[in-house]
Structure 1
């Protein structure tokens, strides 16, 4: 028998969902606490026979929840149980939310709209907090843009921003029954414009790629279904669009292929102070096309740095790189020689930037995409040259995948087990003589690869089935927003362990459960 009236229990349930989605980009405590509210209300509501009947009749809920049980079942091999316990704790929403939402009262179209708008409000608030940090924390640049996201990983946050943009688009132009009125539409468009700017400001390569790919796929879909004499012109434009970013990346890459040539016979050998320059033209490290290790006078750099900064020359900056190395790169990027004259040519703001890990003056241009592209290409260039990816996000992912590939070869059929992922990676890094420093020896950063090496091919196939089957059976892909959500997560799997963090797994599961298990069956809007 319910503790309260049906109306009160329903309101508590809806409040729990609203608190959960609002907390996603803002508070992990709020995310956890809201799930306890939903669980407590579900228990106090009673009606367990009715709920059990729903579970028996709707196999999709149990199939999806089996993702959690796969993680639990793969505890059978000898494990690092502290790691396994933490992993299972993160995965609890995979079990709890589908069951609670799937056996509770269905959500109406208006309920779902409210949930989605509250989620967008949370994302907007988090973005404004990030804007405050951006404007008043000068240390934030392309090398530490992660600090813009205060509460969760900047990558997961970027996925939420992307989903929010499609939610606003949906209620502005697609949903006819619950479309925004003119005033709300105007506000939504302003918010959308800001979130697009913020997505670029956040400089999450994953978020930008996910958003761009889905926008492009949506345009292709529109071109297919459109009936117009201009259809083929539309297709031609769609063929041109991908060429633009490709050409842009190519243009930036010229900074690494058009390298300056130093004629040592004509080069100055002494600084203005009479100290000797060092030249290492065999070292092809470059910044903006200029060789780093030429016109290099370490004696003057060290002595003059002490006069300009309280940070030790031999210490490390906030990104874990040696300050002296960051200084040399920065001077090179500006075309300055690495001597006393070069150091004193820098402004005080630039000295602070170097202390904060800024290694190229273009990285100070916070509003531009160029530094992000340049830094990514620089990482790949240095990785190819040295084989060491330490501290470089994109290059590290290549090293992670190489290591994961070797683990999969040895554990293809059954995987290493839920609690042995970290042990397997640590062991394989040593066997491969990886140049990665210990602090950067992490997991695969690819959810599909993580599934495969953890559970083997049999577990992997079941997990993919459990992800897709409920969505297909319940006709989830007939819903525009669910399709967008699913694409966002699946594309993010390629570059991230999305399910290995509380924010990532909860973001996906709450909306998956609402769209597939929680909504009224007649509420279906095709893309």
Structure 2
């Protein structure tokens, strides 16, 4: 039998492995989690663990999330998917128990885990930038393509967590850190923030802005001189206004459209050919109508001379070359004729052949282009146009179907494992909504829980998720509060608990921070101490 110190070293090793592997490798995460549980099982003190349950409400409430999954089996019809759900969410049951029944994490131990996360995120971000710089020759179709190891959305969450961890560590060790480490830490924060915007996960960008805002407000409030504090608030407010102005201007540019000349039907190309008559749709790019000034004859002939893909071809991602060409020319304010085609640069021709349909998207990392695409998606959805492939607008469809499913199963939900089948039936009933490859689930964890477990299960999930935050007064500890914000906001835009990396991130850091380190509740501290004797 291993000594207690050996078990503790293994506990810390596997914890650090999970933190390091989260941004890099699912297998590494699995090995780390299994190692934690096996090490805990072989440590003899686990037998006394059950004595510590009395009064441990935050833990019991959180474990209730997994119990909810088990109870949901009563109403399920698809047991194969239900068992998959039970397996995926197993970290929500086991990891909190391991951390709660182990000795409380000391500051140095917590720092080790956080440094492992920071190291993993740094390695992942460097690898991604090597793709961005084409040192690793992988074709970039969008900003998400540079996330090599895990979903770009989950990666963005981990980057936000790494930034929060870095700021926390620098704050805790600021007086003792050498100057060089302070500089490196600051540069690393800047690197992570910039990389988040390069990655262009809207969830990550929003969370990063909120974390930065909270940090700045906290720092400004700490300024003792009222005059300096006022100046700081004014400067920070100006920065926010500039950002808001950029967003507003981008939105306005979409809805501000050109005035159509009543005599437009008399216009001809430079070669004397007539343009197509009238507007067949209201589609527009950068304030210009796509269907105006189109000469199909010249457009097809000249494009076939310039491009490698034929005018009537379908690109490898399923887009029509002619459609992308028309939209791109429109976005530049060019007429869709021979002159327009030959006004394109070689890089622009290559971009069109990759499906780029707006000059703002020439760089897949353009923030302005990202905002514009989101505005366009909302507009297309409101006009009843097919929104397949539009990440934001698709979610409106998912949520609309979720509302229909919930209204039919509001009391107890569809049951564990049956959400996929419930959505499948709705897509069969509404075949025109999205193409099969875009027919996914809610992409909102809160909605998914209400659909799966009904009104009572959904409310219980919210209570179980938020109760430890309230009971342990997590808002008093900036690092814990930052994690809570990251986790809760991620669930608005993603089914965070439905993927291996997502649920592992949630279960692991919830356990580390709430049940392994925070433990401000007397009942928690007392019972864990008793169990360790």
The two structures share one fold, judged by TM-score above 0.5 = yes
TM alignment of 1:57-206, pairs within 5 A: 58-136=56-134, 140=140, 144-173=142-171, 175=172, 180-206=177-203
Q: Distance in 2 between matches of 1:274 and 1:133?
A: 47
Seen in structure 2, the aligned counterparts of structure 1 residues 180 and 522 have a Cα distance that, compared at 3 Å, is: farther
Distance 1:373 1:302, change over 3 A: same
**When the two structures are superposed, what TM-score results if normalisation uses the length of structure 2?**
0.89
1:5-84 to 2 correspondences below 5 Å:
5-56=3-54, 58-84=56-82
1:132 to 1:308, Cα distance in 2 relative to 1, 3 A: same
Are the structure 2 counterparts of residues 318 and 480 from structure 1 closer, same or farther at C-alpha, using a change threshold of 3 Å? farther
The offset of 1:240, in angstroms, is 5.5
Please say which of residues 422-431 and 503-512 is displaced more in the overlay: 422-431
Q: Deviations over 1:176-218 (max 9, x none)?
A: 5886332211110111111111111111111111121233234
Partner of residue 210 from structure 1, selected from 192, 207, 210: 207
- Tell me the residue number matched to 2:362: 364
**Alignment length, in residue pairs?**
519
Distance 1:314 1:266, change over 3 A: closer
Q: In structure 1, which of residues 438, 441, 444 is the aligned counterpart of residue 439 of structure 2?
A: 441
Higher relative contact order (Cα pairs below 8 Å, separated by 6+ residues): 2
TM superposition shift of 1:24:
0.5
Q: 1:366 to 1:158 in 2, by over 3 A?
A: same
1:219 CA displacement: 4.0
Distance in structure 2 (CA, Å) of the matches to 1:72 and 1:327: 52
TM-score by length of 1: 0.90
SS in 2 for 1:494: helix
Whether the 8 Å CA contact 2:254–2:372 is kept in 1: the answer is: no
* Displacement of 1:56: 4.8
SS in 2 for 1:358: coil
Q: Which residue of 1 aligns with 2:328?
A: 330
2:253 counterpart SS class = helix
Q: How does 1:386-397 map to 2 (within 5 A)?
A: 386-397=384-395
> Structure 1 residue 308: deviation in Å?
3.4
CA contact (8 A) 1:171 1:178 kept: no
Q: Does 1:474 align with 2:479?
A: no
| d(CA) in 2 for partners of 1:18, 1:483 | 21
- Equivalent of 2:263, from 265, 273, 276? 265
C-alpha separation in 2, matches of 1:399 and 1:61: 36
Q: Is the 8 A contact 2:23 2:158 kept in 1?
A: yes
Maintained 8 Å contact 2:21/2:29: yes
Q: Which residue of 1 aligns with 2:504?
A: 506
Partner in structure 2 of residue 284 of structure 1: 282
Q: Deviations over 1:139-173 (max 9, x none)?
A: 536xx211121111111111111121121112223
Residues 179 and 455 from structure 1, CA distance in 2 versus in 1: closer, same or farther, beyond 3 angstroms?
farther
Answer whether contact 2:265 2:275 (CA < 8 A) is retained. Answer: no
Contact 1:55 1:103 in 2 (8 A): no
Q: Which residue of 2 aligns with 1:492?
A: 490
CA contact 2:203–2:493 (8 Å) conserved in 1: yes
Q: How far apart are the structure 2 equivalents of 1:178 and 1:151?
A: 36
CA contact (8 A) 2:17 2:29 kept: yes
Matched residue, 2:451: 453
